[in-house]
Structure 1
Amino acid sequence: MTTHPAGPTAPAGASPVTFHDHLLPGITAGRYRITVDQRLPAEDLPGARFEPVRQTVNVQAAQFRLDPSWVHAVYPAAHSQGSFHRLLPHITLDAATLPWQREPFTAGTRSPVRTPWLALLLFGEGELPGDPDALGATTSVTVGRLLTGDPAVSGPRLDPNAVDPVLLDTPCHVVDVPQDLLAQLLPDPSDLKYLAHVRVGGEDAAPAEGQDGPPAPDAYAVVTTARFPREDQGRYVAHLVSLEGHAPPLTSDGKPEPDGKHVRLVSLHHWTFTSCPTARDGFGRLAERFTPDNDEHSAAPLRPAPDPGTGLREDLSYLLEQGLVPMTHVTDSGERTLAWYSGPFLPRVAPELPRPADGHFPDADGLLLHEPVTGTFAVGYACAWNTGRALALADPGFATTLVRLRHRGRLRRATDRQYATYQRQLYGALPTGAVAGESPREVFEELLRGDAADVLATALGVPEDEPRPRAVPAAPVPPRRDVPRHASTARTPSPDAAEAAKWLARLRTLRGVPFDCLVPDQRMLPPESLRLFHVDRGWLDALLDGARSLDRNPDADTATDTELDELLAGHGPVPVAGLLLRSALVPGWPALRVEAHSAGTEPVRVIHNEVLGADVLLVLFDRVPHSLTISEPPQGLHFGTDEEGEVVLRRQGRGDAAPPPKRSVPAPMARPAGPRVLDVGKLAAVLARELAAEIAPRTAISPAEFAMQLVRAPEQLTLTFGGTRR
């Protein structure tokens, strides 16, 4: 059971993201005692009162370690470098209730909004004694040792008896923070609620398999730090730490505790990045490289570009423009010669590949095409066939399923042929009106509909005066069948056929195909480039034919091949076009959004979206797009100020009913001469006062409204293509 606060807040414009103050679990983590007491209305009766039943229940939640799969994204990205001095780093968690599953500090805090037990702290070089270079170094200790305490540091005060004994021997990561530094970085306990919120975005959510209707929105918990990186270049490490069991770092007079001990904090997740104000690695600056007339960085068709000044003949340059790459080819006799290779991605629409009579290529030799310009072979389709066969052999599950499917199909075919032979031998002379291929029962019923009933009645001695059953009129004769009725093709697909078709459908979207087969020359995709292409349907067919060639007999497996073809047709459209993006945008924005539209406003369906390697993104479409939009993900919204260090006020609420404020306020710093820490409480009061004319007058705003005012709108780049070459 979870609860949302009333009145979610949406950012300005048509954004699909809404903000909530929190997403509270129905019960926080801890140990509870449940007591059940039952009494009857008449207490004077014997046995009217029962003894109460008590049961102790442990509600468990993450406490000393965090599952890495729960981290949806971090910003800035791990190990990235960019101009981040105006942005507040943050972490996005898939577990939307996690920041509110426990209580912070030892005495708790009084606030109408639940205070999170997690905080994101940012440390620069030379600040952490155990990590002076801000490389993300931590100390590993067991949970039992952490709870026992170290006299040299101030650790969390938690009851070891309240912790699962299994966890006491498990390791956890800790960092020791100087007390005066922690007092500067950590806001007042009453202001911590502004640094965590819940973000719900429905546009990127995908429906579950087998689910009908619109997809359910995804909810993410976001924890933000209050510290800006410095304006000069430097490396930083961000730690998501636990505040459970700690005392607030400041005393009542605003000074740190006098003991001067380092505070030992549990680090649940950490990452490093480098802030460089002069870096050109921001989203906008990286995306601008793909605009037209930007040399090799601009969006262009995927083709091998010859080096300038090579003086190639016109016919060879034409082959390169068509997407063919010259490569060394070793023939069956061992000779080394030149051949031309083309992968599935071409800068043109490929002509239809002629297919054999049965629709499937039996081997790769039949796919070696003669290239008349140079008198050599084009080996692209043959390589596709061999690649599909190698991938099928490398997957023992698919290979076993396909072979079993073919053997069962042959057994069924042999049974049908044997039954047809037996039927012809036993019922070679069928009565008039009978249909060849019918079962013996059907033949007998056909005989009884005619004069055979009277003949049988006389032979069995049935009296003449007894009423005899009236002959049933003959049913319409169905069209002649070549296959016995028990072997009808309208049968339910077998599990093996469904599984094999599903595997082939995934292969058709090029999942698992080596990247060298897709892009044979690295010069076709230089760093920081965007390349567009058409998908060669013949290459995909050759790839699938190679995978289906295992234990295939063209004469005996016709029915099995037909069944697979029918199932494949129901697994969605075939890729027609796509793009390859090689850029720092791929690792820097893991949930990068790519949208395409046709000549009108209709969106183009994305069939496949996959990150290949460290910095390459592959996107396949069901048709050729007319425009392309690359944008930051909604869940990756950034927080910070503009270039002048001010917070631009945003409209509150949904739609266009309320006009935008069109004003901004300076972001107050808690200690201007210190580590650039935002005064969260003061900024919240200023924002509430400035927005009082737009919302109901109050002295403070909610965490969701606070986060919305600090949002830096996601950037995007839209490219329009005038046409495609054929």
Structure 2
Amino acid sequence: MKIDRAEMLDTLSNPDKLRNLLNHNQPLKASSSPTDSTEQKLSDWLGRLKLLHGVPFNYLVPDMEMLPMESIRFFHCDTTWLSYLADGALSIGRTASSDYTHDEVHLPKLKLFARKSLKSERGKALGHLSIHLNKKESGLLNAEPNKASETITGFLLRSGVVKDWEGMQVAAFGANDVPCQLLRMDHLSPNVLLCMYEGIVNRIRINEHPEVLHFGFEKLETLQKSFRNLANKGVGQEPGTQIDEKVIKPIVLNPRDEKLSYMRSGNTGIIRINKLAAGMQNALNKGVDYKDSFTAAEFALEMVAGAEAVNFIIK
């Protein structure tokens, strides 16, 4: 077979002709996947790079004063910067115009696969850090990565709690309080935690690991307990959900008027359980028209206290 050298050079320097030669004229589909192990390895590597794996920490935080101890910093990844990061990594070895042509033809497909790898890589390196996720969020790690976005937000937390609370759980929520999918979670040092999520994060919740269930009260000026729904009142008001304090005021355990107190007299610290249960039932009856039975099960639901949580609202 005779090869025309001039025609070959023209093809290698013309993106359209090179696409025709390689049969790459078909538009890329979101559901497309790597066709061989080389493409898969490259897309996985690019996906990890866009999650800032291998990027020196001083590139992320140029000055220590930007992340002092006991601080949290929220961020939004610049997609243009991420593209240049990937382009810089892929530029190694470009020495001739034909290399640029080659990249112009092949890179769109590789970048599509890299976007999918942002998700497919997220659960592989989590390891022991999975303790930071609750069961529902762990399930999101296995979601299909066909629809992937490069809109990435997250936070850096530098605090003693990262080191001391190994079971600390972290959750992120977007618009309408929908959970955001985790892309990366890493201990960059014993007291620095990096979390990256797909989409725009509006709220971050950090709480202690719920190891045991216990009864408890909120201690403000006095001990008090807010109420939970016992009956299904509709979306957002299912059994166990918190009742707005404007609907039912929290029950005060030891008010100034000792006649209304649910504590035994004499500063004994002992609660009159029967009286407290009756007071709760009466408040629920008046506030949300709850007329069903109020047994030990309903009393326990009202009294159970979860682990302490801190919510950060990002505006």
Given the two structures, how large is their TM-score scaled by the length of structure 2? 0.51
What displacement does 1:508 show? 0.2
- On the 8 A contact 1:688/1:701 being kept in 2, the answer is no
Residue-by-residue CA offset, 1:69-111 (whole Å, 9 max, x unaligned) = xxxxxxxxxxxxxxxxxxxxxxxxxxxxxxxxxxxxxxxxxxx
1:709 match:
303
The match for 2:47 is 505
- Confirm whether residue 488 of structure 1 aligns to residue 28 of structure 2: no
Q: Could you report, residue by residue, the CA deviation over 1:204-258 in whole angstroms, capped at 9, with x for unpaired residues? A: xxxxxxxxxxxxxxxxxxxxxxxxxxxxxxxxxxxxxxxxxxxxxxxxxxxxxxx
Among 281, 288, 300, the residue aligned to 1:691: 281
Which one of 181, 186, 203 corresponds to residue 629 of structure 1? Answer: 203
Contact 1:583 / 1:616 at 8 angstroms: preserved in 2? yes
SS of the residue aligned with 1:652? coil
- Paired residue secondary structure (2:41): helix
Q: Which residue of 2 aligns with 1:663?
A: 251
Q: What is the 5 A alignment of 1:152-171?
A: none
Counting strand residues as a fraction of each chain, which structure ranks higher? 1
Query: SS where residue 691 of structure 1 aligns?
Result: helix
**In structure 2, how many angstroms separate the alpha carbons of the residues matched to 1:635 and 1:502?**
32
Three-state SS of the structure 2 residue aligned to 1:716 is strand
Are the counterparts in 2 of residues 638 and 714 from structure 1 also a CA contact under 8 Å? no
2:214 and 2:205 map into 1 onto residues whose CA distance is: 13
SS in structure 2 at match of 1:530 = strand
> Structure 1 pair 705/615, CA: closer, same or farther in 2 (3 Å)?
farther
SS in 2 for 1:696: coil
Distance 1:543 1:660, change over 3 A: same
Aligned ranges 1:300-449 → 2 under 5 Å: 422=2
Q: Which residue in the other structure is 1:342 paired with?
A: none
Separation in structure 2 between the aligned mates of residue 631 and residue 566 of structure 1, nearest angstrom: 32
Q: 2:192 aligns with which of 616, 626, 629?
A: 616
For the pair 1:531 / 2:66, whether they are aligned, the reply is no
Q: Helix, strand or coil: the match of 2:169?
A: coil
Cα gap change, 1:482 to 1:710, in 2 (>3 Å): closer
CA distance change for structure 1 residues 634 and 484 in 2, over 3 Å: closer, same or farther? closer
Secondary structure of 1:592's aligned partner: strand
Q: Tell whether the 8 Å contact from 1:528 to 1:582 is kept in structure 2 after alignment.
A: yes
Equivalent position to 1:581, from 139, 153, 157: 157
Q: 1:665 to 1:608 in 2, by over 3 A?
A: same
**Structure 2 SS opposite 1:631:** strand
Q: Provide the rounded CA distance (Å) in 1 between the counterparts of 2:224 and 2:111.
A: 61
Q: How does 1:465-480 map to 2 (within 5 A)?
A: none
Match in the other structure for 1:718? 313
Structure 1 residues 482 and 645, CA gap change in structure 2 (3 angstroms): closer
| Secondary structure at the counterpart of residue 296 of structure 2 | coil
Describe the superposition over 1:477-508 as per-residue Cα deviations: whole angstroms up to 9, x where unpaired.
xxxx9469784225963232123212211220
Rounded to whole Å, the distance in 1 between the matches of 2:67 and 2:250 is 43
Tell me the distance in 2 between the aligned counterparts of 1:536 and 1:631. 24
- After TM superposition, give the deviation of residue 631 of structure 1 in Å: 3.2
Q: Structure 1 residues 529, 505: closer, same or farther in 2, change over 3 A?
A: same
Deviations 1:616-651 (A, max 9, x none): 3434466777xx434345975985213234544544
Written as runs of structure 1 = structure 2, the 5 A alignment for 1:116-265 is none
After superposition, the Cα gap between the structure-2 partners of 1:592 and 1:544, relative to the gap in structure 1 and judged at 3 Å, is same
1:706: Cα distance to partner? 0.8
Question: How far apart are 1:719 and its partner, in Å?
Answer: 4.8
Larger radius of gyration: 1
Match of 1:461 in 2: none
Residue 564 (structure 1) aligns with: 110
The structure in which a higher percent of residues are helix is: 2
| Counterpart residue number, 1:590 | 168
- Which residue identity lines up with residue 42 of structure 2 in the other structure? A
Distance change in 2, residues 1:710/1:486 (3 Å): same
Tell me the CA shift for residue 522 of structure 1: 1.5
Contact 2:183 2:198 in 1 (8 A): no
> Of residues 56, 59, 62 in structure 2, which corresponds to 1:520?
62
Q: 1:582 to 1:635 in 2, by over 3 A?
A: closer
The 2-side partners of 1:586 and 1:507 are apart by 24
What root-mean-square deviation, in Å, do the aligned CA atoms of Structure 1 and Structure 2 show?
Answer: 4.9
1:546 Cα shift?
A: 4.9
Alignment partners' CA distance in 2, 1:701 and 1:648:
17
Cα distance in 1 for partners of 2:274, 2:93 equals 70
CA contact (8 A) 2:51 2:184 kept: no
Deviations 1:392-440 (Å, cap 9, x if unpaired)? Answer: xxxxxxxxxxxxxxxxxxxxxxxxxxxxx5487xxxxxxxxxxxxxxxx
Matched to 1:629, the amino acid is R
Contact 1:604 / 1:622 at 8 angstroms: preserved in 2? no
Which consecutive residues of structure 1, in runs of 5 or more, have no partner in the other structure? 1-420, 425-480, 721-726
Return the letter of the residue paired with 2:47. A
Q: State the secondary structure of the residue aligned to 2:73.
A: strand
Call closer, same or farther: CA 1:527–1:602 in 2, change over 3 Å: same
Alpha-carbon offset, residue 564 of structure 1: 1.7
Cα distance in 1 for partners of 2:280, 2:293 equals 10
